[in-house]
Chains A and B, each alone.
Chain A
Amino acid sequence: MAGEEVVLKIRRFDPSLDERPRVEAFAVPLKEGMTVLDALIYVKSRLDHGLAVRFSCRMASCGSCGMKIDGRARLACETQISSLPRGAVAVEPMDNFPIVRDLVVDLERFFARHAAAMPGLVRERDPEEQESPTGEYLMAPGELESFVQFTYCIKCGLCSSSCPTASTDALFPGPQALSQAYRFLADPRDEGEERRLERVDAEHGVWRCHFAGTCSAVCPKGVDPALGIQLLKRHVMSARSPFGRKKRRGAPVFPNPNGDLLGQP
């Protein structure tokens, strides 16, 4: 390991200056346990301060450092260089997103689609309960299990960057937004079903997923967005059909006998 180097072949592109992307190679001294993000930080601090790369937590929790490494969408902070094939490592920005500069992509549309999925509990009957909670919504453990994996999404964008439908259909919401829509549709505490269904049951909505499954293959948190989309399709069919099995809606509030949620009597 000592004295060894790894070569990063980084795709560089500044849309305001460059006509087309170029690849630049940087030799980085290899250390045990080095991640691709460590190597990129080395490049940025020692070799080229102008390299644009986005990162924050360095522990696969914030989802900031999504990029394409050796042709596959990954988080740079959890990709050990030793886990990659020997030789130069190709580092590129994520697909399906506009490039801001180098490895930084514009996530504005991605987050707008996440927001369009209404990622929060909608309560029609007691909206004041969300503002001033008096207890807990009752939910069975099995109901939680039906959607809990989708709450682990860190919104890194890797799923949408690897989705073939997202690359061809500019209006497709993408696996992240669709699986989040399912996460709340499956939640018995939620009452926003009709509004969510109107958004996903559209010409460029959930039905355009071809079930390639690449979203699930690249998810760094083990979430299965492809499953979420299939469950969402089933949910839409059941909700629209007079014979379909309907999900329980609007779980009641279980008053906290010890006072409010802050422990005040």
Chain B
Amino acid sequence: MRESTLMQMQYVTAVLAVLLVGVHLLMQGVLVPYGEAVSFQRVLSVYRDAVDGALLEILLVVVLAHGFNGLRTILIEWRQTPSWTRGVNWAVLVAALATMAYGTRTVILAATGQVS
């Protein structure tokens, strides 16, 4: 993938993350009182709502893509050998996909009532 494509993704995910984290924080303490927002049943109900659950999944993917790409940028600036750069690219891709898969699994389990 071209570096400009990755940077484009970085800019888009940054904007989306600001919006989605903003909505998330509103729901976690402004529109809904904090103590109520983090209660177990309330959290489960958020996952089970189609729109809120979808927003959580999008937030997960956006933040992970942005964060791991940022980590990749830091690491490839740290050392400059081709093998290091190649290794970092693959390691970060695998780590990002694994974390996304684990997070998505949690969203699916909670949304489908397999957590109670």
- A168 on interface, CB distance cutoff 8 Å: yes
Q: Place the interface of chain A in its size category.
A: 10 to 19
User: Contact mask A227-259 → B, CB, 8 Å, 1/0?
Assistant: 000000100110011000000000000000000
Contact B77 A208 (CB under 8 A): yes
Interface locus among A17-25, A67-75, A149-157, A198-206 = A198-206
Interface size on B, residues (CB 8 A): 11
User: Contact mask B53-90 → A, CB, 8 Å, 1/0?
Assistant: 00000000000000000000100110010000100000
User: Contact mask B1-28 → A, CB, 8 Å, 1/0?
Assistant: 0111101100000000000000000000
Q: Which of B3, B5, B77 contacts A168 (CB 8 A)?
A: B77
Contact A201 B3 (CB under 8 A): yes
What A residues does B80 contact at CB under 8 A? 169-171, 204
- What is the minimal beta-carbon distance from A116 to any residue of chain B, in angstroms? 16
User: Contact mask A142-172 → B, CB, 8 Å, 1/0?
Assistant: 0000000000000000000000010011110
Q: Which of B4, B76, B85 contacts A236 (CB 8 A)?
A: B4
Q: List 9 A-B contacts (CB under 8 A).
A: A168-B77, A169-B77, A171-B80, A201-B4, A202-B3, A203-B76, A204-B80, A236-B4, A237-B7
Residues of B within 8 A of A (CB): 2-5, 7-8, 73, 76-77, 80, 85
